[in-house]
Amino acid sequence: MKKISLLIFCLILFKSNLSLSNETDIYKKIDLFTEVLEKINKDYVEEVDQSDAMDAAINGVLQSLDPYSSYMSPEMLKEMQTETRGEFGGLGIEVGMEAGVVKVISPIDGSPAESVGVKAGDYIVKINGTQVQGKTLSEAVDLMRGPVGSEIEITVRRIGVRKALTFNIVRDIIEIKSVKSKVIENEIGYVRLTSFNDNSSDQLEDIIKDYKKNKKINKYILDLRNNPGGLLNQAIRITDFFLDNGEIVSTKSKKKFDNRKWFAKKGDLIDGDTLLILINYGSASASEIVAGALKDHKRAIILGESSYGKGSVQSIIPLKNRGAIRLTVAKYYLPSGKSISEVGVRPDIEVNEEGDDFRIKTDTDNQLNYAIKLLNG
């Protein structure tokens, strides 16, 4: 009961920030919460792990705020820190919650999930036959975790497809290579950015400088499809590569003194050459900052599908138990003043994925093929 008492104490402290008119309601809710816990302990058909129950209660509070806020136990925080170093075991998908259902934000390039055909926007309804609806995001992620080399079965619902789709996936080491490049038809510099990691902007800058040595290259494609985002500072720096001036992005939070704006410095790395950006529903957060800012400044042609619409900033806030909360602390705004939350960035030229065998950067990639034809006139 110690953990329960601690939570109730925290709720009372939280109450102290509320107006007097709300105090009575808060006390009633605290009493109700305590009563429910007592009834569960006394009458529930099975033994309840109090620690797990309290973790679920804390997580429930956070996930009621928005799909991106959540609680991380000490074990989960350690796993997340391992993942951000760029190599981990799993399926290779970025997931979130929407209306109580686990939703694929994007599959990672070359991951087991992408190779079997899991797509951004898929709703995961079963994991190894277990219904996912009603579970927290943390619980669903726990079900997906397992030893490298082991197999998992996931069932998804896809918009526009009548029947549920089932995929058998073998867990593997997921190595995130955030920047890949190639020269297309001798004159188009193509760069695929799959995430915004610590060194993404440095890698991209080196690639562009190499391209500039090739006098034939005068058109560029920046592919942000299935890029779920990452570090804000990387998104700002990469956007700045293609601008001479003007606002890049702003953030607004509850505390006005935390509101910020970022502006471009003089110097366009590609000297005003044509830039085309590919986006899809798996392009989220930092990807949307880059695409949205360059669209607002009319510096790039945006081609593909509308992006995800994740226009919020999350901070990892440590807790005394060595866990943490991931909490939304601000929202992004484009130079036009528009928020991308739940709206996303709309392409200048809409080109949808075609066919069940569609794969990025293959012969079936009709979006990239369209972009190449467009740039070649």
pLDDT tens by residue, 282-316: 999 999 999 999 999 999 999 999 999 999 988 88
CATH code 2.30.42.10 region(s) in the chain: 88-174
Residue 89 pLDDT class (50, 70, 90 cuts): low
Q: Quick check: is 285 catalytic?
A: yes
What pLDDT is stored for residue 255 in this prediction?
Answer: 86
Residue with the two structure tokens 């705020």 = 65
Q: Quick check: is 296 catalytic?
A: yes
What pLDDT is stored for residue 13 in this prediction?
Answer: 43
Q: Which pair of structure tokens corresponds to residue 349?
A: 């030229």
Which has more confidence, 287 or 64?
287
Superfamily of 177-313+329-375 according to CATH: 2-enoyl-CoA Hydratase; Chain A, domain 1 (3.90.226.10)
Q: Quick check: is 373 catalytic?
A: no
CA dist., res. 356 & res. 268, Å (int):
39
User: Which residues in 253-278 are b (16+ Cβ under 10 Å) and which e?
Assistant: eeeeeeeeebebeeebbbeeeebbbb
Residue 197 to residues 26, 190, 331, Cα–Cα distance (Å): 42, 19, 20
pLDDT at residue 334 is higher than 70: yes
What pLDDT is stored for residue 336 in this prediction?
Answer: 97
CA dist., res. 49 & res. 245, Å (int):
57
Which has more confidence, 9 or 143?
143
CA dist., res. 287 & res. 196, Å (int):
8
Average pLDDT, the chain: 88
Q: What does the angle CA 323 – CA 328 – CA 333 come to, to the nearest 5 degrees? A: 150
Give the global pTM: 0.77
Q: Which residues contact 22 (CB under 8 A, 6 or more apart)?
A: 15
Beta strands of the chain (E only): which ranges? 70-72, 87-90, 93-98, 101-107, 123-127, 130-131, 151-157, 165-170, 172-175, 179-184, 188-193, 219-223, 247-252, 260-263, 274-279, 301-304, 312-318, 324-333, 349-350
CATH of 88-174, one of 3.20.19.10, 2.60.40.1940, 3.40.50.10070, 2.30.42.10: 2.30.42.10
Pick the catalytic residue: 103, 119, 219, 310?
310
Residue 11 pLDDT class (50, 70, 90 cuts): very low
Pick the catalytic residue: 55, 109, 172, 296?
296
Pick the catalytic residue: 69, 111, 283, 285?
285
CA dist., res. 118 & res. 303, Å (int):
22
DSSP bridge pairs for 123: 103, 157
CATH code 3.90.226.10 region(s) in the chain: 177-313+329-375
